[in-house]
Amino acid sequence: MKMLRSVKGMHDIVDDEIAGWHKVEDAYRQHVERYGYREVRTPVLEPLELFVRGIGEATDIVEKEMYSFEDKGGDFLALRPEGTASAIRAYVQHSIAAKEGQTKWYYIAPMFRRERPAKGRYRQFHQAGAELIGVAEPTADAEIIDMAVSYMSHLGLKGIGVKLNTLGGPESRGRFREALVSFFQGRSDRLCTDCQRRLSTNPLRILDCKAPTCIEVAQGAPGGHELLSQDDRTHFDSLRRLLDRWGTPYEVAPSMVRGLDYYTRTIFEVQVDSEALGTKGAILGGGRYDNLVAELGGKPTPTIGYAFGIERLLLVLGEAAVPPQTHLIFVTGVGDGGAQRAFDVARSLRGNGLRAEVAYVEGSLRSQLKRADKFGATFVVIAGAEEAARGCVMLRDMSTGEQEEVSMDGLAARLRESQ
């Protein structure tokens, strides 16, 4: 019979890999909850219109990468390609604005895009992100950037820096768009096919194109900073002063844009030094999307957030992603009633917060020690009949082969000393 395999670009997470995922996810939850963020969970399936309206019909995600289909009831649905639009849809649907003045949400969830699979990039991938809804002040921008940087620093990443830019509000962005269209129209024959189309649909995306000819043409493109309104310029300058005050490392990148239509004003990327990504690679991206709540049916509400790919982060962390394991204790019984004694001891150890494995089948002590070695046990607890009569067990150190008799009452404390 043919062996079934996972769908291309969608992978299983098994064995020792899981420990790294737990480390990254647990550290993230603890970190953002210190800033007052609460978890939100949204469906994997959403209305297709949510992403067309929220992300933008002319984006690569909607045009090329999204898994979308018509279900049996005639509804057009899509597998969630990113987390922000879903979170804002939930915010509007559940009238969260009527319950609280500002909302801080975070998520850790699978996303789906039909990209070409590559190292660290998959068609089912996982993102962690944060949304700060209801605060327009640049202090919110500075805090969320600093929160992202401090999380990456906490994980031990090196060479952390921020690329920072502003697209301005609708007025400034409109002027920037007109300037780009004027600039690229006379050079459109040198643009790739995608960017020739973007010239009329989403000209800012031309600045993000990786085609060599488009990169060359874009070198002389106008920058948006000269076209900022005074309010947009004041907001950006205030953000920079706060980051300077806190010592958050950043550089202004006037030509940087983001791939989604909903971004306004502040945009940023967190970069790290990594051989896995190149000399300097982006690992997190975000910014403001002050019009998105209104676009999805709510009242105009300022919002800022970010997201990062967990697979990509684990790739950068490498071996550092795997936390040291606590000792595994293997429990075996010998003599009459040995199997039952082994289960009793294992249950007691687990109740005291220790990792314990037990022999499910009876066998000689020699065979059980071999099983313990295969499990990678650090210690073996031998529950013999004679020792049980005295309220004791034998404790064997698998690294040295030394054994000692330990009372059942003191066994958990003795093993915790060795953790």
DSSP string, 30-82: HHHHTTT-EE----SEEEHHHHHHHT-TTSHIIIII--EEE-TTS-EEEE-S-
pLDDT reported for residue 226: 77
401 — pLDDT class (breaks 50, 70, 90): confident
- List, in order, residues 6 or more apart from 395 with CB less than 8 Å away: 379, 380, 381, 382, 403, 404, 405, 406, 411, 414, 415
Q: What is the pLDDT of residues 263-285, one digit of tens each?
A: 889 999 999 987 766 656 789 99
Q: What is the mean pLDDT of residues 212-240?
A: 86
291 & 404 share domain: no
| Same domain for 389 and 287 | no
Backbone angles phi, psi at 271, to 5 degrees: -120, 155
Last residue of a domain, one of 268, 298, 321: 321
> Of 282, 306, 321, which marks where a domain is finished?
321
DSSP code of residue 221 = P
Going by pLDDT thresholds of 50, 70 and 90, the confidence category of residue 58 is low
- Among candidate residues 272, 294, 321, the one where a domain is terminated: 321
Reading the block at residue 127, the tokens are: 């993102």
By DSSP bridging, strand 76-79 and strand 68-70 are antiparallel
Instruction: For residues 52 and 99, state if they share a domain.
Output: yes
> 49 and 150: one domain?
yes
Inside any domain, residue 12: no
Is residue 78 situated within a structural domain? yes
Shared domain for 241 and 389, answered yes or no, is no
| pLDDT tens track for 358-393 | 887 777 888 888 888 888 888 988 888 888 888 888
CATH number for 350: 3.40.50.800
Domain count along the chain: 2
Which position has the higher pLDDT, 37 or 365? 37
Give the per-residue pLDDT at 385: 82
pLDDT band at 259 (very low <50, low <70, confident <90, very high): low
Query: Taking the model in full, what pTM does it have?
Result: 0.85
pLDDT for 140 equals 96
Query: Span 301-316, mean pLDDT?
Result: 94
Range of the domain at 297: 17-169+229-321
Tell whether 408 is covered by a domain: yes
Q: Tell me the per-residue pLDDT of 156-181, one tens digit each, with 9 for 90 and over.
A: 888 899 999 998 888 887 888 888 88
In a domain, 379, yes or no: yes
Return the percentage of the chain with pLDDT > 90, whole number. 43
Look at residue 279 in the predicted model and tell me its pLDDT: 59
